[in-house]
Structure 1
Amino acid sequence: MTGLQAESNSHPPSNEDWKCQPPYRTTPGNSHFTKKWTAHCHCGRIKYWLSRPAPLASKFCHCIDCQALHGAPFQWAAIFEKTDLHFESGVEGLAFYHSSDKSTDHKLPCKVSCAYCHSPIMDEGRKMVLIFPGIIEFGDAEKKKLFDPQ
């Protein structure tokens, strides 16, 4: 066994329980999930649904991270509980970015995007998510008003 093999064998397995928790768990864990809103990334590979009829809050974020990562002076964000969100394919096709240490590990808080088209999907915290309403299928302007920033 080489030194590298011994080193890799000495590390405990990583904890991936988060993949089975909201918002990433898939059916049957979400068998009673009510779909109020549908959203998808630009290429359509990532699809998710929201069960809450309106966000807990909605805002324009002007933080330095949002400015740098979205290439804009602000980002429209809506706050939901993790249990309000359901990804069609769980973590499949998602990319994660932890800005504090510039790693691509799922380490909270983190930014979540489509691994293919790189559309921003959300910022994930410990209990809440900030989703980006620009990718939600609202249908009409009246429904979109539920997501107006406060």
Structure 2
Amino acid sequence: MAQSSQTPQQGEKWEDNPPYQAQSPEKFGRVFWHGSCQCGQVKYQLNREKPLDAKFCHCTSCQRLHGAPFQWAAIFHKSDVNFLNGHNGLDFYKSGENLREHSLPCKVLCSHCHSPIMDEGRNVILLFPELIDFGTGQRKKEALDLFAPR
């Protein structure tokens, strides 16, 4: 499985780079997790079992975006994510400049229900684990342990 975390080069379209370029199952590799937004319009897969790291952020921007005292984010390489519908159904927001465009770093949201999906940086993404289907019972407990901030 490829672990490229390259940023788009001058003149390249963001749609042609991970995590937005559609990948065949053979190229993407083994799928460990599936996730989706609240309404189900945006669906994605993860080919990494455990995030590179995880964190709780309590900055004012995250508090406003999530309407909560903090956000939980799991850090992945961009190539670890495969959107099943490619880049369709996504909106972007660059909070520092108040722009609704794909300009890194930016926030990625469902264009229909407006669920925050992830924060996209230049080299990695901060994915929101609440959107991942961890299953139930012991499987869910084990998964939550994998995604817990250390």
Q: Work out the number of aligned pairs and report it.
A: 136
| Post-superposition offset of 1:109 | 0.3
Counterparts of 1:20 and 1:141, CA distance in 2: 36
The alignment's TM-score, normalised by the length of structure 1, stands at 0.86
**Matched residue, 1:10:** none
Q: Which has the larger radius of gyration?
A: 1
1:1-150 equivalences in 2 (<5 Å): 15=11, 17-28=13-24, 31-33=26-28, 34-139=30-135, 140-150=140-150
- Mapped to 1, the partners of 2:31 and 2:92 lie a distance apart of 25
SS in 2 for 1:32: helix
Q: Which amino acid aligns with 1:87?
A: F
SS at match of 2:48: coil
RMSD over equivalenced CA pairs, Å? 1.5
SS in 2 for 1:65: helix
Letter of the aligned partner of 2:134 in structure 1? F
1:75–1:100: structure 2 CA closer, same or farther, 3 Å change rule?
Answer: same
Q: Structure 2: how far apart are the matches of 1:124 and 1:31?
A: 25
Give per-residue Cα distances to partners, 1:50-71, cap 9 Å, x unaligned: 1111001011011121011111
What code does the residue aligned with 1:149 have?
P
- TM-score by structure 2 length? 0.86
SS at match of 2:97: coil
The structure 1 segments of at least 4 consecutive aligned residues displaced by more than 6 Å after TM superposition are: none
Query: Where in structure 1 are there 5+ consecutive unaligned residues?
Result: 1-14
**Partner of 2:6 in structure 1?**
none
Of the structure 1 ranges 126-135 and 31-40, higher mean CA displacement relative to structure 2 is found in 31-40
Counterpart Cα distance in 2 of 1:79 and 1:54: 9
Using the alignment, how far apart are the partners of 2:85 and 2:26 within structure 1?
14
* Residue 16 of structure 1: how far off its partner (Å): 5.6
Aligned amino acid, residue 127 of structure 2: I
Residue by residue, what CA displacement relative to the aligned partner does 1:70-108 show, whole Å, maximum 9, x if unpaired?
Answer: 111100000001010110111100010000111101000
